[in-house]
Structure 1
Amino acid sequence: MDTDRDLLPEGLEDRLPAAAAAAARVTRALIDVMDSHGFDRVQPPSIEFEKSMASRMAGVQPRRMFRFVDPASLRTLALRSDITVQVGRIAATGLSAAPRPLRLCYAGQVLTIKGDGLDPTRERLQVGAELIGSDSVTAAGELVAMAIEALRAAGASGISVDFTLPDLVDTLAGVDGNGALPLDADKIEAVRRELDAKDAGGLVAAGGEAYLPLLTAIGPFATAIERLAAIDAGGALSTRIAALRQIAARLGTAARLTLDPSERHGFEYQSWLGFTIYADGLPGALGRGGSYAILGRAGGDEEPAIGFSLYPDALIDGLAGAEAPRDTLFLPLGHDPEAAARLRAVGWRTVAAVCEGCDPARLGCTHRLEGGEAVPV
């Protein structure tokens, strides 16, 4: 007997009606806010050549992608694990001649070979926006503010933003170890790792004792930015500190702001700025963003960019669980189709009988069409 015929693979699940409806509303709300800010939607395919997705941006991890051979071209294909990379390809090819800065947004499913940490989920909805051609402070402020606005429109509340500086160690170590806090090249990765882990002992053992004060510049933004400014070695971080202050001033009270300048998890390809977004009552991060670079037009020089990716599945699940029953109008056999069309035009949802035994209550209907009008069941 085939007992596992209807099982889904680990980390994959169906969206049933309430969750599917919530997903559609959340996606539409997010995209509508991005569209209102001048971001045009693109829809890249879910499968591409592995080489294209793996080589366009630094830090992309091909080992997380499902890969297989295309029987037509005999080249390796991959299911996308991140739409940001695809948007970069579109910007550098089909939209290479478009004026910069180029504003694009997207929504779609992404898949990975395995989940992240303790979360087994392998398929997620990714909704995001990318501003290509600039990674200025003004652009960063626009993107962070828009992400907050979009999540609020989708139903999230109590939003907080945690800022980081992904290239912090590289900036302080300097080129060839000639920075404000010099490091030998073979120690940089270990110092990055121990700072990310917030391990003071490991940081000292890795040769990064001079970086210990950075572990104190963590917490509420107003306090942490002052601590970071006090640490600033010879002005090496002055421009980044000024940029963070400017972004925070633009956001005002729109979200709770925190700072963790040495955070690296989830920022594989970001450069001078990274940020993570959270919301009250939802587990984990709702999204991440920051500055990065993509291969330029026709494979030329790199183009600066800044953007964010939202993963609203937890928000969708929460909204689906609190879904109120919708008013639904039952249309009996032989009903007046013109009356039904008129009521649908003003917002009614209708369910038509297809047999004598159709029961309005069992079909989830709250009203019944009688005499051309809706009456409670």
Structure 2
Amino acid sequence: MTETNDLLPEGFADRLPAAATATTRVMRDALRVMDSHGYDRVIPPLAEFEQSLATRMEGVGTERMIRFTDPASLRTMALRSDITVQVGRIAATRMADAPRPLRLCYSGEVATLDGRQLDPRRQKLQLGAELVGSDTVAAASEIVALAVETLQAAGAEGLTVDFTLPDLVDTLAQDGLPLPADRIEAVRRELDTKDAGGLRDVGGEAYLPLIHAGGPFADAIETLAGIDAGGALATRIAGLKEIAARIDGEARLTLDPSERHGFEYQSWFGFSIYADGMPGTLARGGTYRIRGLDEPATGFSFYPDRLIDALAETGEAAPVVFLPPGHDGEAAARLRAEGWRTRAALTGSDDAAALGCTHVLEGDEAKPL
């Protein structure tokens, strides 16, 4: 019977051997891809002063952060809820003088005060890469291609990349579909919820065609071009086509130009990545600006927990060789050097099958049980 003291808080969980093994493999394979493309790894601290985490990027609030008082400084600290913010701080401070574009990657746990309805986890693994010093089409193309390659290496299959333009309303409001400044936020909100009636109510009738502008990329980009009054989106449309061409054939491509949920601190470009059999978003990224140096950046974050769960359930356990009492130590060392796992008997009564072994060392060879 489980004692009350042994229960974990809601939204937190242990990773048992199968899940821990899958986690290690996903991290290793994802980081290897990012490293191969020249992204240097940084490891920010688990907690920082709340003010630093909350003010480095637009749209990052503190309402979901787990906060506490630092006994040394008596200032409010918080557990990180997004490592991207910390990479921005590093780029703007410790690596402010490093040559640009600066390519950094990371992997670590993040925590939030509460979970979401569709995902109750409050502790998650986050991996990602940031290209600091550029938010050009070339930078966006590199990041999207890197994200796709990273997720494929981690084991995700059947990828779909969904593009969006977070500043769509702002751009059209200035040139093409004019809007008073006090209506822009309301139009953004109604477009995000795809509420045609609400859009009319806030004076955004001219934006109604954007509700139906999403879908498969090739068709949706032409629909968007047809809506684009006065060519205000011409450079963005050209940019999206160039980015899409970079990953053509590697993933299904879709476009939802007015989607803003989850892209609160992105500037002109954003994207989400989904995988077959995986509920929800696996990765999200785009262009943004880092406060402090007011520097442009492009990046993506990969949240692999659901993928790890699936890999842990379907993955086969690695072979393990049982080492009986008095076994050949040199033979066992050779097997380990070849990639085998071994478990040594501590007593003569140890049972190989009960210990989860698949082979037994006989002489200098591993023989199936």
Name 1:11's counterpart in structure 2.
11
Of 202-211 and 326-335, more deviation after overlay is shown by: 326-335
* C-alpha distance after superposition, 1:328-359 (max 9, x if no partner): 11111222222211111111100011122210
Counterpart Cα distance in 1 of 2:303 and 2:70: 29
Number of aligned pairs?
369
Whether 1:97 aligns to 2:89 is no
Name 2:278's counterpart in structure 1.
282
Residue 338 of structure 1, aligned match among 330, 340, 343: 330
Name 1:357's counterpart in structure 2.
349
Residue 205 of structure 2, aligned match among 199, 205, 209: 209
> TM (normalized to structure 2)?
0.98
Shift of residue 256 of structure 1? 0.4
Counterpart Cα distance in 2 of 1:281 and 1:262: 26
Name 1:172's counterpart in structure 2.
172
Shift of residue 97 of structure 1? 1.0
Letter in 2 for 1:48: E
Could you say if the C-alpha distance between residues 142 and 2 of structure 1 is closer, same or farther in structure 2, counting changes exceeding 3 Å? closer
Whether 1:189 aligns to 2:154 is no
Counterpart Cα distance in 2 of 1:325 and 1:99: 44
Shift of residue 241 of structure 1? 0.5
Shift of residue 2 of structure 1? 8.6
Whether 1:305 aligns to 2:277 is no
SS for the counterpart of 2:279 is coil
Letter in 2 for 1:138: A
Shift of residue 117 of structure 1? 3.4
Counterpart Cα distance in 2 of 1:164 and 1:307: 14
Letter in 1 for 2:340: W
Name 2:34's counterpart in structure 1.
34
> TM (normalized to structure 1)?
0.96
Name 2:127's counterpart in structure 1.
127
Shift of residue 238 of structure 1? 0.6
Show structure 2 runs of 5+ residues with no match: none
Counterpart Cα distance in 2 of 1:218 and 1:117: 25
Identity %: 69
Letter in 1 for 2:125: L
* Mapped contact 2:327–2:363 kept (Cα < 8 A): no
Residue 313 of structure 2, aligned match among 313, 317, 321: 321
SS for the counterpart of 2:118 is coil
Counterpart Cα distance in 2 of 1:355 and 1:186: 77
After the TM superposition, list the runs of 4 or more consecutive aligned residues in structure 1 that deviate by more than 4 angstroms.
none
Counterpart Cα distance in 2 of 1:2 and 1:228: 57
Shift of residue 215 of structure 1? 1.2
Of 327-336 and 48-57, more deviation after overlay is shown by: 327-336
Counterpart Cα distance in 2 of 1:324 and 1:352: 21
Counterpart Cα distance in 1 of 2:50 and 2:219: 44
Name 2:214's counterpart in structure 1.
218
* Mapped contact 2:100–2:132 kept (Cα < 8 A): yes
Counterpart Cα distance in 1 of 2:353 and 2:149: 39
